[in-house]
Amino acid sequence: MPFYEEIARIPLFFWHPSHRSGDRRRALTQTIDLMPTLLDCFGVEPPSVVTGHSLLPVLDSDAALRDTAIFEMFGAATNVTDGRYTYFRYPPDIMAQELNEYVLIPLHQKSFFATEEAAGASLVKPFGFTQGMPLLKIPARPG
């Protein structure tokens, strides 16, 4: 089974009292759409760096938000889907990839990077969504 195809098809149940409900929608959504949707519920514009879309228009009509979506797992396949078909692109040699982690703070979910992990770190230019903040580029598989 291709890597993580089953988690790319998570059902989303959303209800809003001012919009039509009880129908299935075919729109291709992503988790990046949740924050703009919640802000839209309260009449707040999302920040300009947000790339997701409000789902409220989808509730009233099955309007498409996007034609395709990209999803992946770090170090594995990069996938593109139109909601019906998915193209899986694996690297030729998964273990031979030069993978890096880009972070603002050298922190895993619950602990700091070990000294050995951060030994090869370098400061790099910001990404578009980091709002001008440079990043630490840390090799993901040192040695």
Token pair for residue 55?
A: 């789902």
For 34-38, what is the mean pLDDT? 95
For 32-36, what is the mean pLDDT? 94
* 70 in the same domain as 21: yes
- The closest of 70, 46, 66, 49 to 58, measured between CA atoms, is 66
* 121 in the same domain as 62: no
* 112 in the same domain as 71: no
Distance of CA 118 to the CA centre of its chain: 24
Examine residue 1 and state whether it is found in any structural domain, yes or no: no
Domain, as residue range, for 27: 6-89
User: Which pLDDT value is given to residue 117?
Assistant: 83
Q: What's this model's pTM, rounded to 2 decimal places?
A: 0.74
- The closest of 27, 51, 55, 30 to 41, measured between CA atoms, is 55
User: Which pLDDT value is given to residue 23?
Assistant: 84
* Tally of domains within the chain: 2
Number of neighbours of residue 97 by Cβ within 10 angstroms:
13
Residue whose pair of structure tokens reads 């059902």 in the numeric block: 11
Examine residue 36 and state whether it is found in any structural domain, yes or no: yes
Quickly state the pLDDT bin for 131 (edges 50, 70, 90): confident
pLDDT exceeds 90 at position 45: yes
* 56 in the same domain as 125: no
Which amino acid does the sequence have at 86?
Answer: T
Examine residue 83 and state whether it is found in any structural domain, yes or no: yes
Looking at the chain, the whole-number percentage of residues with pLDDT higher than 70 is 93
